[in-house]
Structure formats: C-alpha cells, structure tokens
Structure 1
C-alpha cells in the first residue's frame, strides 16, 4: 500500500485524533472517491486489525464478517446504477473510520425486511439529551449473613469483613469476595451456614467460594450458598445471571458434584449438575427462557418440573422454555460479553436490549411503543446510558428520552 498519498496522511492524522475539521472533511471526500476505493479498504482493514484486540470479544472469523458488513453496508446494486459514481465509502467513512478509530462502539441495524444500515460514531457527536443521564453500573453487592446481618460490599473497606464458623470472609481491592477456611480449623465440628450475595440493578460482583470455585454475578442477581459444602454434594441457588468456574473436588465416595438450582419468579426452575467446568446461566424472571451455556467440561441440565434433562458439551446451550429443554449451538461471544464488560447484540430485539439496559443502568423502560426492531451491535458497558441510546438513535428510526421516573426516585427511558 502506498504510504505517501494525501489519503494516507489524512487517515493517519485521524487515527491520532489530530485532524482539523477541514482535514476531516477532506478525508471524507477522498474516501468517497471511487478511484480511492482499494486504498481506502486497505486503510480500513489495517485500522480494524488495530482496533480488534482491544475489544477482546470477536473471534477472527466474526471480526472478518463484521468488517465485511461495514464494507457492504452502504452499497447495493439497486442503489448504485452503472451511470452513477459509487460513493459507498462515504457511509463507511462516517460510520467506520471515525468510529473504529475512537473505539467507542459499532452498531449496524436491521429490520424485518432485512434492510441493513450502519450506525455508530463517538458519543460526543450524537444527539440524545444527557440532562438526565445515567452512569454505568459497577462493583456493587450486598452480602447477607446467616444471622441476617447485611453488608454493603461497595461501602466497606478492603480486608477481612466477617468470620463465620471457621470461615474467613475477605474483600479484595479488585472487587472480589473470598471465603477461606482457616488453617487448622476442625471442620467436623463446624456447622454450615447459609449466606446470600445479591447485586442490585447497576451492580456486578465476583465471589470465590470455600471450595475454590469462582462465580461472577451479573446485575440484579443473587446467589445463595453454604459457608461449608457437605461431603456428598455442593449446592447453590441462583436468581438472575452468573458465570461459574467450578473447581474439581473429591470426597470419600468419589468426585463431589456441584449443583446450581435456578428458581425464576415466573415459576420456571432447573438444576445444573457439574463436576469441574466453566458455564454461564441466564435465569432472569423477565426473560422468556432459562439459558445454560457450557464453555468447558460437561454439565447436565434438568427441568425440575418435568424431570426432562439434557447433557451439554462445550459450545452448546440448554434452553428451558415451556417445560421443555432444547439444546442448541451457543453464540459464546454474545453469552460472555457481559462478563467482559460489553454489550453484544446479535440480531437482538429492542425489547431484549432494553431489559439489559434496565438491569445495568437501574432504570425503568416504557415498553408501550417498542417496535419489533432487531439490532446487531457492540458497545462497552463503561459508557453512560445516553451514549448507548445515541448509538441506537443513529439508525434514524427511533428517538429516546431519559426522564425522571414517575415515583421521582430514578430514571425512565421513553421511546418515541
């Protein structure tokens, strides 16, 4: 690729955020010139390679597909008659160059007629009012001990916060809660007690259980667990969503299974049994199904109502809906996006997107006028609510407002 062209020079300025308004306008014109199409595609491809590692979300295959979607977003045979210049890169420039370089987000939109547009730009360029903006969530949780004592983990100092029956409970600086069995403690004479860790809307937290297993809780979720597991099995109860990395344990009778019971408010319930594995469970009461996704090892998912069960292998997902379990191939990138601090939507309905925003930003949503619109997109969960809504607005079909909630105690998203 030639590196002494005007296009290359202006593109590098934009990469460094040093381009003036006049130089940006010139860059857009050069990118829109059909004679520069090949060079522009090379420049965009190289920029995407630099951008991709920082996302830590896309596989090489998905990354390539996403870049192709960018290149194809503005060009169709119907829109580009032979006698007209092909200025498709003007769309790519506005939506990809300024966006990728800023590493803020990437959105492209599709409706049921399979029309697709590309939308996305730095938040400061977008138009949703931020008067009532909402900051992103963070490490927030409440630990409830067996005696009813409630400890707000985001408010207490780091270090040891409690002792229970030979178990030391410690909060680390990076937002982790650890249960550690004290050395030399006679475990036979100690009684197990039940604790619960709960994240509010706008919260997340990691807990290290006494057996060495690790659990990451998503927003509006809770995990009930014993301070000491029995010899026969290890059992916890989950509401909401969590990612598990289970340590392998052995008892006198052999390997000690780990069971997760999920009880949703809508009456849906299941049991996930594992030995040593990595998996994610989404069991929110307002979702239309429970989803258990396996990343490593093996798990058995059982519907506690019908007793129907299914065995998962890595890359599969068990979907519990209407008392039936369906096993399907999982989109691991989408499933794990929340744990990596991102929103990732693959052909997701706006209603389902709003549910995620409700939980992460602790807001209400007016669902009265939500169309059956689907989105493909990626954005960090570290941005404000208005920045996410600005990205959605760039599709041009909807407008969002953040208003005070009717009770005056929070915020509400209204859709126009």
Structure 2
C-alpha cells in the first residue's frame, strides 16, 4: 500500500491490525506520532481530514528536510570569517615584541635597526619588530641604556615622558615619581608634559615628584652596566627600592624626621657590602633576617 494511503487511513483510524503493525515499523512513524501529540494541544476548528493530512505532510516535510542557509546568509558568514582571519593575521604580524627582566637580572636587546638596548633589573620594553620602519617607537617601563647607531632615529616612550633620539647613547630611568634622562653621546630631545629640553653629551634631565631639574655628568656610561647603582641627591626610599630590585629582598624601613637625600652607590654583587655602602653615610644600621627580609633603622644620636 502507498505510504500516503497508509498515513490517511492512520489519521482516520481505519488501519487494520496488520496495517497498523506495519505502519508502526516504518522509519517515519515516530515523527508522525510526535507531530500528532503536539497538535493535540490545540483545539481543532474543522473535521476536514484532508486538511489534517496535508498539514501533517507539510509538517513532516519541514521536520525531515535539513535546514539550509540561504546564499546571502552564507556570504555574510564568509565575510565575517574573512574579516576575523584578517584581524587575527594583522594581530600576529603587528603584535609588539616584549622583553622584560626580573629582580637581580639584566639583559641586552638588539633593535631592528641594530641599535642596542640594555635593560636594568625589573624593567621592560616593547616595540614592533615587523613594522619597525613605519613605527619606530620603543615603550619603556623601568630603566634602560640605549646605544643608537649613527643616523638611526626613534622615540623612547615612558609613562612620564618621551625621548627622541638620533645616533646617540643615553640612559632612561622611569620609576614611580621619578623620570631621568642622561645623555652620554650625541643629543636627545626630552619631553614631559610641557617641559621640553634638548640634551647634549654630559647633560641630564630629571623630573622627581613633579619637580624638574637639570644637571651634568662626567661619566661615559651608567654605572649599573658595571653592576653598581649610583645616585645623586635622591630620596633614600628610592635607593631602597633599587636595592630590592637588584637583590630580590624586602626592606623594612621606618624613616625618622624629614625625608633625607642620598648620594653614593652600592654594588650588585654582595648584599652586605651594598648595605654598608648605603647605611653608613646615613648613620643607620641594618639586620638581615630570614626570608630575604632586611631591616634598616636610624642610629640614636
């Protein structure tokens, strides 16, 4: 018997026992039954069995026919995928190279134009290696010494100011409330807020606690390249922060009286020697405790 005839008789409850058994074994029987169960939730306004049959056929066809996306929808999906892949590829291509150092660590980086950057402890730089010719910019957090090849130019950008360089050697220190640039060769242009200066060999630019000063140096390179941190009239807390970066220790210090300034330096190779170098001139004593804890306090006069 034709499948449609069986379906009509089933809807009209006219199937014989043998036909009913055969019909229930067909592949579509469960789908028909589910549709009927759903339809029974609604009240019929007609006893037209033909209408019921045609409606069921349409429902079955919709149920069994796989869903297909229209051409316009597929094009939209394809367009979105192409854009997404393009953005991802651009991200991979233009994503910056990032280099950072940990406490008690220094490292040397060669920029795409062969200029050399030496990072001090707990510092980081980022630059676009693939897009360097169009985006000649180095982002710096911390401290770094730059040795730029003659004729090469780029910007060093920090949170507190920007340095524009052309074939020179200079040092940039950017720490909390402290921004300093020292020119050792050639010239650099430094800009921080509204303060802009052109530095030549031996000149310094310092912005500390929002106070701007200039100075001079006779050094040919920063001493930290030789594992010595040096300071010139710097708040003592800044010196202790650098000690923590170079040795990976925690310093506990309770200042007495007004903030004092420190001039001098300490070695990166021996903690005891470093502590003697910074506490003796300040009339202080220290104690090295467990878990890399260093306690410093002022002597009683």
The normalised TM-score by structure 1 is 0.44
Shift of 1:310: 1.5
| Matching of residue 258 in structure 1 with residue 154 in structure 2 | yes
Pairing of 1:258-337 with structure 2 (within 5 A): 258-263=154-159, 269-285=160-176, 288-303=177-192, 306-321=193-208, 325-326=212-213, 328-333=214-219, 336-337=222-223
| Matching of residue 339 in structure 1 with residue 225 in structure 2 | yes
Find the counterpart in structure 2 of residue 82 from structure 1.
none
Distance across 2 between alignment mates of 1:381 and 1:338: 8
Shift of 1:300: 1.0
Q: Quick one: which of 254, 264, 267 aligns to 1:380?
A: 267
Distance across 2 between alignment mates of 1:234 and 1:282: 20
Distance 1:345 1:311, change over 3 A: closer
- Partners of 1:351 and 1:370 within 8 A in 2: no
Find the counterpart in structure 2 of residue 115 from structure 1.
none
Distance 1:346 1:293, change over 3 A: closer
Deviations 1:42-75 (A, max 9, x none): xxxxxxxxxxxxxxxxxxxxxxxxxxxxxxxxxx
| Matching of residue 414 in structure 1 with residue 295 in structure 2 | yes
Q: Identify unmatched segments of 5+ residues in structure 1.
A: 1-164, 166-189, 250-255, 264-268, 405-409
Deviations 1:311-343 (A, max 9, x none): 1111111223466754x2233549711112223
Q: Identify unmatched segments of 5+ residues in structure 2.
A: 1-88
Which one has more relative contact order, counting CA pairs under 8 Å at least 6 apart? 1
- Partners of 2:184 and 2:219 within 8 A in 1: no
- Partners of 1:334 and 1:344 within 8 A in 2: no
Q: The residue matched to 1:275 in structure 2 has which SS?
A: strand
Higher alpha-carbon Rg? 2
| Matching of residue 399 in structure 1 with residue 285 in structure 2 | yes
Q: Quick one: which of 138, 147, 150 aligns to 1:236?
A: 138
Query: RMSD across aligned C-alpha pairs, in angstroms?
Result: 2.9
Pairing of 1:176-191 with structure 2 (within 5 A): 191=93
Distance across 2 between alignment mates of 1:390 and 1:308: 38
Deviations 1:200-244 (A, max 9, x none): 111111111121010010111000111234434510100000000
Q: The residue matched to 1:281 in structure 2 has which SS?
A: strand
